[in-house]
Amino acid sequence: MPARRWLIVAAACLVALILVYVLAVLTVTGQELENAALRGADQAAARDQTAADQSLSRITLYSLGVAVVLVAVIGLLRRRPALAVAAVGVIVAGQVVTQGLKRFVLPRPSLVPLTGHYADNSMPSGHTTIAMTVLFAALLVVPYRWRGVTMVLLLSWAVGIGAYTVTAKWHRLSDTLAADAIALGLACLASWWLARRGVVRRYEGRRRIPRVLVVVVASLAGLVFLALGGFLIGAALSQDGLDATLRDNTWVVYLAASSLASAGSVAAALAFLGTWRRLEIP
């Protein structure tokens, strides 16, 4: 079993995390663009901000505990204790790594004038990490035939949480992308551990059309988010330049950041699902 595929993806996640931090946090332009997106979020409709705050507020220590118990129970009901340990480990390790990086490892230097709570360090996003690790843990623990259904039920929620952190001004785009990378990397390490234990098998059954459709729809949605975010920020910068965009087009910068946050979450989910293509834990 080519278990090294998960190590390769995990290494790529580490590189992505470093690049996001360097470009968005350690450069003046990166900080200016992300701060402009936060200012642009002030122009979001009140109902959108309310929906974002309410959705994020539902993620509590108790709801996280329920998610951990559920994935553990599914693994144990399948008589796969190692699977339960791996799935729970992804969620728990996600918070340990995220909070450790945020508090002790990844400082946000003051490269541009900024006051208020926006000046606080916020990388990576704990809420996005929770959403993505719960999604990955669920994909790990459910049987092969239920992966498509699991994606349908959880992907839109996980993607929405990442975008909502920007709308609610709880986090910047880089925070959500870093969280995506952490969650994907940890899920791949858990998958590698399971493969090394010899519990992963090649799936020999027929291709399930609904699951293929889920992947196709998610891929198209991810491409739309990516294209929209790239077009918005690219058009604003090419037409008005950086200074005018930062001053007058903060709404456009916010829309681009929100779209790119969604694209990042979709890409991470599809990448993880791709590593498990035609593989299962019977």
| CA distance to 16, 30, 32, 115, 193, per residue, from 110 (Å) | 23, 12, 11, 10, 40
| Percent of the chain predicted with pLDDT > 70 | 95
Q: Which amino acid is at 168?
A: A
| Percent of the chain predicted with pLDDT > 90 | 59
According to the model, what pLDDT value does residue 219 have?
Answer: 93
Average pLDDT rounded to a whole number, residues 69-85:
93
pLDDT at 235 over 60: yes
Record the pTM.
0.93
pLDDT at 36 over 70: yes
According to the model, what pLDDT value does residue 211 have?
Answer: 73
pLDDT averaged over the chain?
Answer: 90
State the sign of the Cα–Cα–Cα–Cα dihedral 259, 264, 269, 275. positive
pLDDT at 111 over 90: no
* Tens-digit pLDDT profile for residues 187-232: 999 999 999 988 888 887 666 667 778 889 999 999 999 999 999 9
pLDDT at 11 over 60: yes
* Structure-block tokens of residue 106: 């990844």
The shares of helix, strand and coil residues in the chain, as percent rounded to the nearest 5, are 80, 0, 20
